[in-house]
A and B are shown apart, each in its own frame.
Chain A
Amino acid sequence: QVQVQESGPRLVRPSETLSLTCSVSGGSMNIGGYSYNWIRQHPGKGLEWIANIYFNGNTYYNPSLKSRLSISLDTSKNQFSLKLTSVTAADTAIYYCARYYDTLPGPSYWGRGTLVTVSS
């Protein structure tokens, strides 16, 4: 059974960089056919896709966040990571990581999410 879990600081100062890591278990990241995604949800609001990355290193970013985003993959650790620079209070949200099937239909697997608060 695939499991994904987010980790990282829960509090980030304004103008600093938010860094999160997603650990994937129950499935190797050394094979293709999947995308690894970050999604966030502002308090009381809907779901917003942030970015994804593939086994081959291809990345896609939400255009509204692209200038501040970086996503990376470490297949040796079965992890992928997100960096969001120059954060403001508007970046306070629950951040989820998720693995999606890409080439074939299949269920996505989501983490439980981690609340990141931007505050001084």
Chain B
Amino acid sequence: EIVLTQSPATLSLSPGESATLSCRASQSVTSSSLAWFQQKPGQAPRLLIYAAFSRASGIPKRFSGSASGTDLTLTISRLELEDFAVYYCQHYDSSQITFGQGTRVDIK
């Protein structure tokens, strides 16, 4: 089973700043199997990035994803108020889906 470890647990930033969220897999993974979700209180997770790099439909360009080896990164440039939320990385394979424990992006 692939374990995903996200860091940091909480990120406190101000609107306009950039956010860098990290996710490390316990073993080598293919980029096509990696995704990022955003979740706000009382809402379902919203797909931001799939296949490590591809923005989902309707997702602003300030969200970008990258991957190298076992490391996955979500970058949010110029945070807006609506971006303060919890973010999850996710790995998919045919027999299971695993999620990181989440990174909370708080307003500083």
Contact = CB atoms under 8 A, between A and B. Distances in A.
Contact of B99 (A35, A47, A110): A47
B88 interface: yes
A111 B44 contact: yes
Contacts of B37: 47
A39 interface: yes
A105 interface: yes
Contacts of A52: 96-97
Interface in A21-52: 35, 37, 39, 46-49, 52
Interface size class of chain B, counting residues whose CB lies under 8 Å from the partner chain? 20 to 34
A80 to B, nearest CB: 15
**Overall SS of chain A's interface:** strand
B96 A62 contact: yes
Interface in B33-54: 35, 37, 44-45, 47, 50-51, 54
Contacts of A39: 97
Given A46-B88, A110-B45, A112-B44, A105 B54 contact: yes
Pick the most buried of B35, B96, B99: most chain A CB atoms within 10 A of its CB. B96
A105 B88 contact: no
Given A46-B99, A49-B99, A100-B97, A107 B44 contact: no
Closest 3 CB pairs of A and B: A105-B51, A49-B97, A105-B32
Interface of A: 35, 37, 39, 46-49, 52, 60, 62, 94, 96, 100, 102, 105-108, 110-113
